[in-house]
Amino acid sequence: MARVPVAVVGAGNMGRHHVRNYAELTGADLRAVVDRNVERAEALAARYGARAFASVAELLERAPEVEAVSIATPTITHREVAEALLAAGRHVLVEKPIAATAADGDRLTRRGRERGLVLAVGHVERFNPAVRELKRRVDAGAMGSLLSLVARRVGVMPPQVADADVIVDLAVHDIDIFRYLLGADRPDAVYANAGRAVAEDRFDFADAFLRFDGVACLLQVNWVTPVKIRSLAVTGTAAYAEVEYVTQDLRWFPARPLESVDTFAELEAYSGREPERVELARREPLALELEEFLRAVRGEPAEVVSGEEATRSIEIAAALAEGAERR
Contact flag: residue 35 with ligand NAD (CB under 6 A) = yes
Calculate helix-pair angle for 172-182, 129-139, nearest 10 degrees.
30
Kindly tell me which residue out of 3, 24, 37, 270 binds ligand NAD, with binding defined by CB under 6 A.
37
- Phi, psi for residue 253 in degrees, rounded to 5: -125, 100
Contact flag: residue 60 with ligand NAD (CB under 6 A) = no
User: Whole-angstrom Cα distance, residue 104 to residue 116?
Assistant: 18
Contact flag: residue 230 with ligand NAD (CB under 6 A) = no
Closest residue (Cβ) to ligand NAD?
12
Kindly tell me which residue out of 4, 6, 7, 14 binds ligand NAD, with binding defined by CB under 6 A.
14
Contact flag: residue 169 with ligand NAD (CB under 6 A) = yes
**Region binding ligand NAD by CB under 6 A among candidate stretches 70-78, 127-135, 296-304, 319-327:** 70-78
Kindly tell me which residue out of 21, 70, 73, 248 binds ligand NAD, with binding defined by CB under 6 A.
73
Contact flag: residue 62 with ligand NAD (CB under 6 A) = no
Please report which helix (H) or strand (E) contains residue 122, including its range: strand 119-122
Contact flag: residue 81 with ligand NAD (CB under 6 A) = yes
User: Whole-angstrom Cα distance, residue 312 to residue 179?
Assistant: 9
Contact flag: residue 155 with ligand NAD (CB under 6 A) = no
CB of 253 to ligand NAD, least distance (A): 28
Q: Is 27 exposed, middle or buried (0-12, 13-18, 19+ CB in 10 A)?
A: middle
The smaller minimum CB distance to ligand NAD, of residues 52 and 208, is found at 52
Kindly tell me which residue out of 5, 27, 74, 195 binds ligand NAD, with binding defined by CB under 6 A.
74
What sign does the dihedral 53-57-59-63 (CA atoms) show?
negative
- Which amino acids are annotated catalytic? 96
Q: Are strands 119-122 and 205-212 parallel, antiparallel or unpaired?
A: unpaired
The smaller minimum CB distance to ligand NAD, of residues 75 and 248, is found at 75
User: Whole-angstrom Cα distance, residue 24 to residue 287?
Assistant: 9
Calculate helix-pair angle for 102-115, 78-87, nearest 10 degrees.
10
Contacts of 288 (CB under 8 A, 6+ apart): 127, 129
**Region binding ligand NAD by CB under 6 A among candidate stretches 12-20, 104-112, 188-196, 300-308:** 12-20
State the residues that interact with ligand NAD by CB under 6 A.
9-15, 34-37, 40, 72-75, 77, 81, 95-96, 122, 124, 160, 169
